[in-house]
Structure formats: C-alpha cells, structure tokens
Structure 1
Amino acid sequence: AATRLFEEKGYGGTSLAEVAAAAGVARPTVTAAFGTKPALLSDVLDEALAGDDEPVPVAERPWFRPVWDARRPGEVLAAYATVCTLIGQRAARLFEVVRRAADASPEVAELWDRSQRNRRAGSRMVVDQLEVVGVPAGWPGHAKAVDALWFFNDPSHYDALVRQCGWPEREFTEWLAQRMSDALLRP
C-alpha cells in the first residue's frame, strides 16, 4: 500500500494514516512497524530494490549472479544492464519520490545520499569484475569507469525511456548495455 501511495501522491502527499487505511490496519500498527514516514519510505525503497524483504544484499541476489559469472567485459556489462533494467522497473518511481523529498526532510536527504552511495558501491563492484575478466587498451581507468557506471545505473534513465517514452524493456536493456560498452570498452 505504501509503495503505491508514495508513487501516486509523492512523499509529502502521503500520510501514515493513508498508508494504514490502504493496508487495512490502524495507524498505530504502521507506526509500530516502521516508526516514522522517512523510515517507511526507506523500507519501501529497500524492498523495491531487492524485490523482497529478505536481508540479502542486492549484489548477492540470484538475479545479480550473471554479472559475477560473466567471463568477458561485454558480457559483464550486458548482465549489468539487465540488473539495471530490473531495478529501474521496481524502483525508478520511488527513487524520484526520494529525490524530490530530499530537500524537505533531513531523514529523506540521508536516504537519498545513502541510495547514491549504494549505487556508486554497486558500480565499483561491477568495475572490479570488469578488471578481473580483463579490460581493453584505452580503458578509462577505475575511477572514471566507476563514475560512468554510476551515471548509467541511474533508475531515472529507465523511467525516462521505458515509462515516459514507451521503449520496450528489452530495447532499453540492449541500449544501456551498448552505451556502457561504448563508454568503457571502446578506445
């Protein structure tokens, strides 16, 4: 219920009372389970990113495994593009909710900052994997590669091209893999 309300009404337009009503429980139940509205938004975002509420890091989930199993740089990036598409599908709208609300609440600002740090950490892990499987001459270097993947893994790209422009997900995934390859693997 909270995900739908945050996506439809935004952070400021969603109250804990509305979340409780939509979930069919009393407001004290929501407060007891999550505490504050920023904590609820954090939980909703985490669940959207992971796909469930299990305490398993995103990079250790089965759907991330193809990134670690790939043996060529292009395969790593194609697998990562699939991961980015899945995360965009689940969480792009919530990322936008958090981004827009970050100026209104210190707790949500911290959630936004944490989400950016986590995206960068994910980029760093994928770049590490690229370096393990081998990178071509002309490689931009570790730091710039991390920056580039952090740019490309932004769920707003999914939102813009798939949700707003109507691209099929497969086309988006292929486009994203190609853009990442162009940026990192072409001299």
Structure 2
Amino acid sequence: MGDVNDKPRRRYSSATRSEGARRTRQAIVATAGALFVERGYAATSLADIATAAGVARPTVFAAFGSKGALLGQVLDQGLAGDDAPVPVAERPWFQPVWSATTPAAVFAAYAEVCLVIGRRAAPLFEAVRRAADDAPEAAQLWATLQDNRRAGARMVVAHAQRLGPLAPHLDADTATDIVWIYNDPAHYAALVSERGWAEDRFRQWLADTMCQTLLGGPS
C-alpha cells in the first residue's frame, strides 16, 4: 500500500498524444505528395520524405510501413480531402449527386465532383501512372484506382437510371464505360492545368458532354 501522503500522478493526455501523432502523419502525407509529384515516386525515398517533413526516418516507417503504403495514403487523402474515414460517396460535396431529381441533374452534379477531385488529385494520379511502369506496388495501386473510378461511374449511372432513361442506344454497361472515361482526372490536368481553362468552363463542358452522350441532350 502506498504512503497516505502520496498524490495521484497526473494522467498523460492520450488525446494530446493522438493529436500530435495525427499532425505528424498529416505533415508526412503532405510532404510525400509534394515530393512524389515534383520528383517522381521512384526518385523519392522515405529518408527524403522524413528530412523534408522534419521527422526521423523511423517515424515515417512506423507510421506507414512502406513507401507504397504511404503512396496509397497520399492518394486516399488527395481524393477525399482529409484523413477522416468517410467514403467519397458519403462526403458532403458528393451529396448533390444523390439529391438530384433528374438524370441530367445527376450528371451535372457529378461534373462538379469530377472537378473537385481533379483539382485535388490530378497531379497525384499522374505520379502514380508514371510510377506504375517500374514499381509493382504503384502498378497495383494504379489498377485499383481504375477499378474504383469505374465502380464510381457504375454507381452514378445506376442512380441516374432510377430517375429516368438513358439515351435509347445505351445500356448500363456502356454508359458506365463512358462515365469512367470522363471521370479521369487527366481531363482536368489537360484542360485546366495545361490549357488554362477556367474551372467553371471545365465543369460546364464536362456536364454538357456527359449529358449529350448519355442522355442525348445538354445538361
């Protein structure tokens, strides 16, 4: 039994520790994303990322385990906008797709989603695409990205079909393929980042193009 004069020790705040660890992870992710885009995945080491983020290399390894896992986290946060465990389709900025009341409104709202994702993640997608030629882990991630984009396209097409018909010559599978082509962030990179289109012009072009192709009329 302890001395009656002993005072209880102050409990270390686990919340403070957790927040500090989260901030460290966020700094690592942000730094890694910038370096992967600037230098390329293959030319960027965990030691490079640690130095640029101001942490020790073991800290990076302990937080993510491997460079490939870190690349995956960079992509996840680039797509979602933060590290909250909330799927893209449940994010507030995706909700206008679900609240749309006509197929044209669905594709117009989805054009805005594609704009948001392109703004955040187009350079990261390109970094992964380039890395996929030489790094198996990047190739696997690239394949997953393509599958996820097509799954998202299928989900949007199915929702539009519940609200009204597609163009007469289209079946759901072909419509999904078309949306999968249009939801590629490479379009944002080409037209906005390279050609200098205003974002509003890009969004309207994407909405009109999807509606014309999938429904036979403008958005």
| Residue 63 of structure 1 pairs with residue 96 of structure 2 | no
What RMSD in Å do the two structures reach over aligned CA positions? Answer: 1.1
Q: Which residue of 2 aligns with 1:170?
A: 200
Residues paired across the two proteins, number: 187
1:55-94 paired onto structure 2 within 5 Å: 55-94=85-124
CA distance in structure 1 between the aligned counterparts of 2:32 and 2:155, rounded to whole angstroms: 31
Give matches, 1:1-187, under 5 Å.
1-138=31-168, 140-186=170-216
CA distance in 1 between counterparts of 2:123 and 2:199 reads 16
**CA-CA distance at 1:150 after TM superposition:** 0.1
Q: What residue ranges of structure 2 are gaps of 5+ in the alignment?
A: 1-30
Can you give the 5+ residue segments of structure 1 that lack an aligned partner in the other structure?
none
State how far apart, in whole Å, the 2-side matches of 1:146 and 1:43 are.
27
Cα distance, 1:137–1:100 mapped onto 2, change above 3 Å: closer
Question: Given residue 17 of structure 1, which amino acid in structure 2 is its aligned partner?
Answer: A
Q: TM-score, normalised by structure 1?
A: 0.97
Identity of aligned residues (%): 59
Distance 2:166 2:184 in 1: 25
Higher relative contact order (CA 8 A, sep 6+): 1
Q: Does the Cα contact within 8 Å between 1:139 and 1:185 map onto a contact in 2? A: no
My pick for the range that moved more, 117-126 or 15-24, is 15-24
Per-residue displacement from partner, 1:61-116 (whole Å, max 9, x unpaired)? 11000000000111100100000000000000010111111121111111001000
- Letter paired with 1:47: Q
